[in-house]
């Protein structure tokens, strides 16, 4: 969040360099940063995988991936050639102790300098994180100038998260561990902090005196598709709530840090996680809804039930809605409603802050609806913000009230392409700025908070409620708000 420092030469190693994440997200992000002139001479990208591929074969694979995953308007032949020239591939099974010298040799050969910055991006299953770090240490590649990037899932519960953190922490200092949550790299998410803390008009209202409640939704229209075997062991609570939704909640609810640096924002987020109302078995039953999609219609086409997609009976939830509170001075009594799911009507992630009604109804005889003010922060797609307010409809005669909105569309206001979250985050790793990454204590606090839900749902009687694909989730999700006299803000 500080002014970016120049990028030093770096050896950027991607374990899982031929995988979906690397080819679809990481290499396109590095390509776009390179195209925009941000990668210096001497910056190399080394893909490590079990594939048999020499440098040329890997370059061909990456060229295909860029063609598929970068828009044609952003593809520039000279820039593609520049990135490909930086690429190398090392075939290595990370569990094969005897083969690690190959990686060591490749990294030493032709490095920009002895103490070049080394980034190790672990785009592989978390079960391999500990092994990789251990071997990096053994072959002398884990130095003070080395950084390790961990992808989700960061464990599957508090105990496994601790094990992963301990294994990685035995080799790398916390300041060199970057736990990625790509939601934090989104422009609109960073803009939430700027909107709150670089303006004066919102912050006086941003509390239980003026805010009625907050809704956070991360909806997808797709089903599990190819990810069925991973997803069936995870579910929406682990895949989305423990990380992305709680991180968004933290940014909405946190106190202003005195200044922004690598620790202050994370300190404030941690305090929010620690202030979340602890879940009890009774609260889980009352305030948390699990759903699973049945067959239905999505985008006008028939969509299979979840169990048919994974090909087996399953009680894994593909939908979660929950109500919680942040138990501190600012937010006492304000409900935070969180919701995420697959096979919902559309792909949209949005935070909605719903303000209270004006304290006095001055226009009792006016025509038209009065609605409370709402601030919609659109995280994806079409990042931006919309403030809903009430205005007088132009015209003579009586006063007619009309809801109107003040819109800030990023694309319209700034014209520029909104960079993908990975572009921002990868460069932050290279620069050594961890502000937008999750610290170990945050990850563990989030797991500790969801633990009672996982416990309750591990009972044999627990069954997610079915909802037809293409709808807004089970009826119980609507009831969760209706019983408080509220309703979900569906997208307009
Ligand atoms: P993938 O199956 O497409 O690719 C796995 C990659 O890891 C391949 O390059 C493979 O060769 C390599 N690999 C596996 N075992 C190895 C070993 N023993 N030694 C060396 N290389 C090995 O997987 P993916 O979709 O790219 O996901 C990788 C990880 O990132 C998973 O843990 C996944 O949950 C996580 N993740 C993926 C995405 C995504 O969009 N794909 C998003 C977030 C997190």
CATH of the domain at 131: 3.40.50.720
Flag whether pLDDT at 42 surpasses 70. yes
The pLDDT mean for the chain works out to 93
Same domain as 272, residue 340: yes
Residues whose CB is less than 8 angstroms from the CB of residue 322 and which lie 6 or more positions away in sequence, other chains included: 241, 287, 288, 289, 337, 338, 339, 453, 480
3-state per-residue secondary structure call for 239-276: HHHHHHHHHHHHHHHCCCCCCCCCCHHHHHHHHHHHHE
Site to probe by mutation for ligand 1, drawn from 13, 14, 15, 16 as the one with most ligand atoms within 8 Å of Cβ, is 16
Q: How confident is the model at residue 174 (pLDDT cuts 50, 70, 90)?
A: very high
pLDDT tens figures, 285-338: 999 999 999 999 988 899 999 999 999 999 999 999 999 999 999 999 999 999
The CATH number for 366's domain is 3.30.360.10
Domain that holds residue 385: 184-419+439-482
Flag whether pLDDT at 1 surpasses 50. no
What are the residue numbers of the active site? Answer: 244
Stronger pLDDT, 136 or 413, i.e. the higher one = 136
> Hey, whose CA ends up nearest to atom 40 of ligand 1?
21
Rounded-to-integer distance, Cα 361 and Cα 365, Å: 10
Same domain as 188, residue 147: no
Residue 252: inside a domain: yes
Q: Which of ligand 1's atoms lies nearest the C-alpha of 125?
A: 32
pTM as predicted:
0.94
Tell me what pLDDT residue 112 has.
79
Q: Which of ligand 1's atoms lies nearest the C-alpha of 22?
A: 26
Number of domains making up the chain: 2
Tell me what pLDDT residue 4 has.
61
Ligand 1: residues within 6 Å at CB?
A: 15-22, 49-51, 92-95, 123-126, 128, 151-153, 230
How confident is the model over 277-284, as a mean pLDDT? 97
| Residue 79: how many other CB atoms lie within 10 Å | 18
Same domain as 257, residue 115: no
pLDDT tens figures, 345-398: 999 999 999 999 988 888 876 777 778 999 999 998 888 899 999 998 888 888
Flag whether pLDDT at 2 surpasses 60. no
Residue 157: inside a domain: no
Q: Which of ligand 1's atoms lies nearest the C-alpha of 182?
A: 43
Tell me what pLDDT residue 367 has.
72
Tell me what pLDDT residue 79 has.
97
- What is the Å distance from ligand 1's center to 405 Cα? 43
Same domain as 365, residue 254: yes
Strands 374-380 and 384-392 come out as antiparallel
Tell me what pLDDT residue 361 has.
81
């Amino acid at each position: 969040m500080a002014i970016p420092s120049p990028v030093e030469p770096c050896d950027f190693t991607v374990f899982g360099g031929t995988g979906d994440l690397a080819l679809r997200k990481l290499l396109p992000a590095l390509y776009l940063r390179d195209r925009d002139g941000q990668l210096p001479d001497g910056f190399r990208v080394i893909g490590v995988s079990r594939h048999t591929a020499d440098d040329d074969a890997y370059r061909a694979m990456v060229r295909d991936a860029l063609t598929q995953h970068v828009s044609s308007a952003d593809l520039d032949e000279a820039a593609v050639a520049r990135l490909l020239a930086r690429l190398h591939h090392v075939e290595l099974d990370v569990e094969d102790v005897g083969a690690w010298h190959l990686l060591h040799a490749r990294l030493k050969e032709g490095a920009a300098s002895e103490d070049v910055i080394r980034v190790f991006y672990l785009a592989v299953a978390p079960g391999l994180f500990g092994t990789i770090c251990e071997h990096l240490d053994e072959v002398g590649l884990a130095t003070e100038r080395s950084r390790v990037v961990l992808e989700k899932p960061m464990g599957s519960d508090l105990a496994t998260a601790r094990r992963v953190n301990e294994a990685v922490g035995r080799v790398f200092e916390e300041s060199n561990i970057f736990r990625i949550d790509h939601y934090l790299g989104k422009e609109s998410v960073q803009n939430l902090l700027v909107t709150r803390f670089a303006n004066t008009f919102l912050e006086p209202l941003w509390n239980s005196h003026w805010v009625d409640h907050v809704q956070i939704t991360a909806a997808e229209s797709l089903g599990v598709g190819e990810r069925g075997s991973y997803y069936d062991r995870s579910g929406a609570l682990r895949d989305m709530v423990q990380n992305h939704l709680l991180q968004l909640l933290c940014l909405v609810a946190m106190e202003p840090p005195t200044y922004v640096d690598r620790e202050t924002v994370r300190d404030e987020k941690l305090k929010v996680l620690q202030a979340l109302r602890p879940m009890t078995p009774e609260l889980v039953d009352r305030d948390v809804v699990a759903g699973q999609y049945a067959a239905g219609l999505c985008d006008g086409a028939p969509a299979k039930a979840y169990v048919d997609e994974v090909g087996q009976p399953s009680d894994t939830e593909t939908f979660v809605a929950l109500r919680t509170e942040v138990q501190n001075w600012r937010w006492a009594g304000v409900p935070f409603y969180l919701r995420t799911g697959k096979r919902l009507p559309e792909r949209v992630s949005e935070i909605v802050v719903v303000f209270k009604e004006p304290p006095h109804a001055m226009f009792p005889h006016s025509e038209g609806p009065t609605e409370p003010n709402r601030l919609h922060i659109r995280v994806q797609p079409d990042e931006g913000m919309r403030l809903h307010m009430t205005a007088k409809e132009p015209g003579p005669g009586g006063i007619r009230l009309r809801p109107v909105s003040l819109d800030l569309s990023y694309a319209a206001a700034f014209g520029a392409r909104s960079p993908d979250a990975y572009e921002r985050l990868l460069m932050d790793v290279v620069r050594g700025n961890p502000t937008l990454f999750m610290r170990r204590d945050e990850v563990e606090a989030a797991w500790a908070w969801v633990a009672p839900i996982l416990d309750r749902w591990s009972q044999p009687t627990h069954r997610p409620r079915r909802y037809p694909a293409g709808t807004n989730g089970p009826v119980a999700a609507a009831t969760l708000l209706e019983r408080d006299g509220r309703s979900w803000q569906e997208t307009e």
